[in-house]
């Protein structure tokens, strides 16, 4: 039995090595040099003479009872998206994805967004906020700060992202993250996974055509193959999953088990039980309960094989 499991993992590792090779080849052959006529994208990394690499400024969180004050910073920072591959990213707080915003249902939130990027305006759109977007999700010019207020009325697993135009480019360059709103007595997820894509040199042509160079969990290809996520036999593990896109659908699947309980958008009002694979559209999320029956290594992937091969694969290491 142990030998059979060993063989299975060996097979998946061969997939990973093949995936890395294919991704490298695609990266090398990808084209560039096209500008959209429908929208006017900013310069991509290859066109910028001296890309900024601003120091990450961590999110500031101050909580008084159910009043939560958040301070976030839009900035340009270089990040590592695969082994030896750096990307000139547009970010919230210097990381991709941006920080997870943890809230309790009913929290009154004040969010100050400071735009430290000298090149362009940025904005923030939080799917957890039920507000008028033309009032709340407005552009913040370079060097300025804007404040928005919302109440976390609904529990769930939500996306946030930059709302400045062209949004495809701002999200494609790294401006997104997860908001997790936990209801009273609700489970707190052990892991947050954000699926997203990177396009070669931030090239807008490739973004518009939907041809990613890498598809990743939490900003870096295959990172959880190299550093598996721990879990225990028989102990439920809750995953807050967000698909930031900007283009690819996620087909979340865990090899060797089923998704025992899926709450679409993380809403506790809907439960789907014992699914083999669950589709998460760009801009959506889910709260997923897993239970592992035996110790071993369990790959988690998007079952879109092209996307998996480009980096959207990780491992759970399950112990007794």
Annotated binding site: 122, 127, 161-162, 170, 175, 303
Nearest approach, Cβ of residue 159 and Cu ion (Å): 14
Pick 42 or 189: Cβ nearer Cu ion: 42
Which residues fall in the annotated binding site for Cu cation? 122, 127, 161-162, 170, 175, 303
Q: How far is the CB of 297 from Cu ion (least distance, A)?
A: 38
Interaction pattern, residues 153-192, with Cu ion; x per rule: CB under 5 A: ---------x-x-----x----x-----------------
Residue 98 CB, nearest approach to Cu ion (Å): 11
Find the shortest distance in angstroms from Cβ 164 to Cu ion: 4
Burial class from Cβ neighbours inside 10 Å (0-12, 13-18, 19+) for residue 28 reads exposed
Per-residue contact track with Cu ion, 266 to 305, x per CB under 5 A? ----------------------------------------
Residue nearest to Cu ion (CB): 162
Q: State which of residues 88, 122, 146, 161 lies at the interface with Cu ion (CB under 5 A).
A: 122
Give the interface segment with Cu ion, choosing from 18-26, 46-54, 99-107, 117-125 (CB under 5 A): 117-125
Tell the smallest beta-carbon distance from residue 91 to Cu ion (Å).
Answer: 9
Cβ atoms within 10 A of the Cβ of 59, count?
19
40 vs 235, beta carbon nearer Cu ion:
40
- Contacting positions for Cu ion (CB under 5 A): 122, 162, 164, 170, 175
């Amino acid at each position: 039995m142990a030998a059979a499991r060993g063989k299975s993992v060996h097979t998946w590792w061969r997939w990973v090595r093949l995936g890395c090779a294919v991704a490298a080849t695609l990266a090398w052959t990808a084209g560039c040099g096209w500008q959209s006529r429908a929208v006017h994208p900013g310069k991509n990394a290859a066109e910028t003479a001296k890309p900024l690499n601003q120091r990450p400024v961590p999110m500031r969180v101050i909580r008084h009872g159910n009043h939560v004050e958040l301070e976030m910073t839009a900035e340009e920072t270089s990040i590592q998206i695969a082994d030896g591959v750096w990307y000139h990213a547009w970010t919230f707080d210097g990381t991709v994805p941006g920080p997870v915003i943890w809230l309790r249902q009913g929290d009154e939130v004040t969010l100050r967004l400071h735009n430290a990027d000298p090149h362009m305006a940025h904005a923030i759109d939080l799917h957890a906020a039920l507000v008028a977007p033309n009032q709340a999700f407005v552009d913040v010019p370079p060097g300025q700060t804007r404040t928005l207020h919302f109440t976390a009325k609904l529990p769930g697993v939500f996306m946030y992202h930059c709302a400045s135009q062209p949004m495809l480019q701002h999200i494609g360059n790294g401006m997104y993250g997860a908001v997790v709103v936990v209801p009273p007595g609700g489970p707190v997820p052990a892991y947050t996974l954000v699926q997203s894509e990177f396009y070669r040199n931030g090239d807008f042509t490739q973004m518009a055509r939907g041809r990613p160079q890498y598809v990743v969990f939490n900003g870096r290809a295959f990172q959880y193959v190299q550093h598996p996520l721990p879990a225990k036999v028989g102990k439920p593990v809750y995953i807050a999953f967000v698909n930031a896109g900007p283009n690819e659908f996620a087909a979340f699947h865990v090899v060797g088990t089923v998704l025992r309980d899926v709450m679409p958008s993380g809403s506790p009002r809907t439960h789907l039980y014992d699914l083999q694979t669950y589709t998460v559209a760009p801009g959506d999320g889910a709260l997923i309960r897993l239970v592992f029956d035996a110790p071993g290594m369990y790959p988690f992937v998007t079952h879109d094989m092209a996307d998996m091969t480009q980096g959207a694969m990780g491992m759970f290491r399950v112990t007794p």
